[in-house]
Amino acid sequence: MAQAAPGSGIPIGRIFGIPIYLHASWFIIFLLITLSLRTQFTSQHPGWTPAQHWMLGILTSVLFFASVIFHELSHSLVALHYRIPVKSITLFVFGGLARIGRDASNARQEFSIAIAGPISSLFLAGCFWLGAHFFHGNEMVSAASGWLWQINGLLAVFNLLPGFPLDGGRILRGIAWGVTGDFTRATQIASSAGKLLAYLMIFVGIWQALNGNWVGGLWTAFIGWFLLSAAQESFAQVAIRSTLTGVRAEDIMTRDIPTVTRDMSLEEYVHEVLRTGRRCHIVTGAGRPVGMITMHGARLVPRDEWANTSLQAAMLPIDRIQAASPEEPVLAVLERLQNEDINQMPVISEGQIVGMIARDTILRMLQTRLQIGHLAEP
Ligand SMILES: [Zn+2]
């Protein structure tokens, strides 16, 4: 499932165990903001040297993005407080993005995670405002903090606009969830508000551009377009959730389980894969399942050792296999497959492997159900 915003980039470190990334597109916005700050400082303080204009431009720009990370970190820390994992924080062309491991469990959590961001930006705005007003002695400090308090204030206000995926949209979703008690309905409301907001921004942006403000107008329209695709994506995620709700592992697993014996060599196994096109097998010994072997596992062994390596040595032993139970909801299975980055897992009932469940089977079934609707259901 494509994400509207990037998931990774250049790692720059970890804070509270959360990896922070710079996406390639971030360098564009960093350059633009630095250049515009340098221009602003040059016209407001012609007495400074060019080196001072540049240096303060870069430093202020860095502090701005540190503020964005601070904003994303506050969302993340509230999520961690509720034991919701946070995978990463990424800076990209439209700002920051905290990748939260799963949806909140209830309306209160959703609301608290969302509101933490704008509150942290308002807090920073307050700190920089104090800096701007109490460091009159140093022109450079007050010039930088003068810009930083305004931009953080703007960031808080913009993020409070009530359209998903902005924080305001999440706050709206939290409130709607609390009122209706229905997560799906709440997401639809917040996404619709988000789409409306996005169309409004695209319209205003184009109008500005046609009236001479090319750069500002196009930028507004671009952010609107980004918000639109993110709002549409959140709609899609809700569709996935409601489509897979009630489906259990045994409803979707394949019951025919390809097996191979443990004394087979890896060389022979690869031929078996080439012959049948199946990439994952249960390894048996004395008629009982003892492990699992995949093409991915085979590739971990150097090519010239394939002939002399048995499946017994290369397989994942049965006690280390991630398995599903027949009653486990498919949504949970899919989440585990994605988190562990594996493609399939066996379904085990009372010590017996009764089926296999694969990521692409789930996605194919999802696609079919979304295409034909719920025709097949009673
Ligand atoms: Zn936020």
Measured in angstroms, how far is the CA atom of residue 110 from the centroid of ligand 1? 12
Measured in angstroms, how far is the CA atom of residue 40 from the centroid of ligand 1? 27
Do the Cβ atoms of 117 and 74 come closer than 8 Å?
A: yes
The enclosing H or E element of 336 equals helix 330-340
Measured in angstroms, how far is the CA atom of residue 176 from the centroid of ligand 1? 18
Look at strands 86-92 and 18-22 and give their pairing: parallel
Measured in angstroms, how far is the CA atom of residue 216 from the centroid of ligand 1? 22
Measured in angstroms, how far is the CA atom of residue 239 from the centroid of ligand 1? 24
CA-to-CA distance for 17 and 261, rounded, in angstroms?
Answer: 42
pTM tops 0.75, yes or no = no
Measured in angstroms, how far is the CA atom of residue 90 from the centroid of ligand 1? 12
Measured in angstroms, how far is the CA atom of residue 106 from the centroid of ligand 1? 18
Rg, Å, the chain Cα set: 26
Place of tokens 């995926």: 165
Q: Which residues pair with 91 in a beta bridge?
A: 22, 96
From first to last of its 378 residues, the chain has per-residue pLDDT tens of: 233 344 568 888 899 989 999 988 889 889 998 998 999 888 888 888 888 889 999 999 999 999 999 999 999 999 999 999 888 888 888 788 888 877 888 999 999 999 999 999 999 999 999 988 887 778 888 888 989 999 999 999 999 988 888 899 999 999 999 999 988 888 888 889 999 999 999 999 999 999 988 888 888 898 899 888 888 877 777 777 777 777 888 888 888 888 899 989 999 999 988 888 888 888 988 878 888 898 888 888 898 888 899 998 889 888 888 888 888 888 888 888 887 778 888 898 887 788 888 888 888 877 777 666 544 443
**DSSP assignment of 116-176:** HHHHHHHHHHHHHHHHHHH-TT-HHHHHHHHHHHHHHHHHHHHHTSSSTTSHHHHHHHHHH
